[in-house]
Amino acid sequence: MYKEPAMAGRSKCMARMNFIGIILMIPVLNAEAHDIEIVYPPNSGVFNVVADGGLDNSGATDVTARLQTILDERPRTIQVVYFPKGTYLVSGQLRMKRDRSRSPSSHSHGPWLVGQSRAETIIRLKDGTWPEPVYALAPDPDDNGRYPKKIDEQVVLSTGDCTNTTFNKIIRNMTICTGKNNAGAIGVMYNTSNSGFLGEVDIISEDGQGVAGLALAGVENGPGQVRNVRIKGFDVGIYNITDYVTACSHVRIEQPNTLGILNHGITAGEDFTIVMKIDGPAIKNVKRGMFCLIGAAIEGRAENEPAIESDEDGMLYLRDIRTEGFAGAVKKDQHDIGEFYTGQPAGLFYQPKTALRLPIKTTPKLPDYEEDFSKWTNPMDFGAAGDGKADDTEAVSKAMSTPGKSHVVFPYDKKFRITKSITIGPDVARIVGTSGNIWSYVKDNNRIIIEDGVSPIVILEGISLPPVVVRTGRTVILDSISPGYRILGSSKEQRGKQKVMSHFFEGTGDVFMNNDPMALEVTNPRQSVWIRHYNNEWGPNTPTVPVQVRAGRAWILGWKSENLAQRVRVEGGSLEITGFNNYRVGTKKNDGDWPIFEILGGSFSCNGLVQRGSQSNCNLVWETRDGETRKLTADNNPGKRQCPLYTGYKP
């Protein structure tokens, strides 16, 4: 049953006027909005497909075989495969992973594909390669009611399908072009597990033909991130059949032939633009799909149909949606949506029927990488061993604090052990990992500390790190960070006693986390944190709750957890989550005397909670106000173990 939240405390007329004001401020993505020039210094360890691989990037030579060999040589290696500007002509599929085995030796961790320029680094399919389709993805399933998950034919670029072990796939800063007369082509089949993102990418059909621009398919696909993506042409813009939540930000879909988005999976989205050219819906949510979307402009030509359709057993959460050219957004004559969801909301004290609506900031446009390599430095320049055993603290500290050096690279296949906390120097603006890691053992309790400095933005990306402490008013961006702690002792008892690896946000500036699984604590009332694609799945034996907000504000888009453990503690400040996917596999019952979310003060809302797997939490929320604790469980929640909206704040 569809539920339209009531307008509380103001007239519907005034609410609509305010909503129009909000809509006008929603940023509309264009192809140039997040362009960035990426370069790497010679000692960074990246593999340059032209300089190191001998590829022709003029667009005149078919490079399929040689490029596939380069990918085959790196099936489990997190190495940046770098594409300088140019056109790379292919006449068949490029596949990053072929083995679907679950065995650890077959886990797929890389490589990362990175282009120099989003607009000028182009992988282009030769005209007429696949004129006939082998897949029909929309709008209806096959005769057995199924949608295809295994998509491994006629895809220009595929990350491969390795069940739930296709870890850490990154495709960044390039254009995938399906050329002309390729009606059977799919631009990208993107499958990642736990970490990884597809970002700053255009997927283009030159003549509008093609099965799909982006297929989020594969057995047990997700969780992952899709960000700053433009898709033009194709029958379906995005085909999503993920098992775990995909966080999608700043997506533009232009002129699909059938559907903008076919969602069979779990999507948490923000800032979408869809421009339809045919008579039909723009978005279809099918089967048990969950589709959460905040901020969208949808233009179409379907005067008799809504812009968004959903099956009865699907979950919708929509906010700040503007439509034009449809019979309505979801219902007839309702063209703009302030807030809308299916099912019944839940609350224990104040019970407002609208989400917390924390301010949402887009991750800032990143500055280009420094082209003057004299301004880069590297721990190896200061005598680091880089073997993960020797103490490299002094070398790493010098690299991070050398005057006049704005960029620090941690090169491929090096591991730098530190035994003390390190403060990033005031001149450093960007720390880049190309599979280089900073390791610290848990017993050492070391940190990477960010304080005030010259650059208004500090970027840490693509690297394993000990926890980060933010003590600055500058903007901090943590992008594709993985835990850099190593545990002394491998026994179950030793591992179970370890503290969760946690960032500490104690500053006053804005913090943006993308594709970063570390736990976090927010303690400064002036600190704001925006998190996109959060895969924190620390188990029930760890003593630290992954997300703790004691002051300040935190906003999360797309969180997949695993194990039936407590996830959130809000003691003050504000926390809002959009798209929470709680997953538990196995037969051992582990639903103990704790909730997923514990609210001890402050403000909280969760928009779109789904639980999948063989087990799920019965205890959803414990909320305490003025010494009284109330509990939301599967027994008293209208949606049982799912919830379209929980609110725990005073209106």
DSSP string, 357-416: -----PPPPPPPPPS-GGGEE-GGGGT---EEEEE-HHHHHHHTS-TT--EEEE-TT-EE
For 596-609, write each residue's pLDDT tens digit: 999 999 999 999 99
- Considering only CA atoms, which of 489, 383, 382, 396 is closest in space to residue 437? 396
Domain 31-275 has CATH 2.160.20: yes
| Mean pLDDT to the nearest integer, 549-562 | 96
- The CA-atom distances, in angstroms, between 574 and each of 249, 489, 515, 605, 628 are 22, 37, 21, 9, 20
* pLDDT value, residue 485: 72
Which residues lie below 8 Å from residue 69, measured CB to CB, with a gap of 6+?
none
Q: What is the pLDDT of residues 401-426, one digit of tens each?
A: 999 999 999 998 899 999 999 999 99
Average the pLDDT over 68-92 and give the result: 91
- Rounded mean pLDDT of 311-331? 94
What's the CA gap between 170 and 616, in Å, rounded? 30
Q: Which residue has the tokens 């029958």?
A: 235
Q: Which residues contact 143 (CB under 8 A, 6 or more apart)?
A: none
Lowest model confidence (mean pLDDT) among 244-248, 371-375, 542-546: 542-546
- pLDDT for 227: 97
Residues in the chain: 651
- Place 144 in a pLDDT band, splitting at 50, 70 and 90: low
The pLDDT tens digits of the residues spanning 272-314 come to: 999 998 888 999 999 889 999 999 999 999 999 999 999 988 9
Q: Determine the Cα–Cα distance for residues 182 and 128; give it in Å rounded to an integer.
A: 5
pLDDT at residue 290 in the model:
94
For the ranges 149-153, 305-309, 507-511, 588-592, the lowest mean pLDDT is seen at 588-592
Q: Which residue has the higher pLDDT, 393 or 437?
A: 393
Mean pLDDT of the chain: 87
pLDDT > 90: what percent of the chain?
A: 69
Q: pLDDT for 425-454, tens place per residue?
A: 999 999 999 876 887 766 677 899 999 999
Arithmetic mean of pLDDT, 607-631:
92
| CA-closest candidate to residue 639, choices 347, 352, 289 | 347
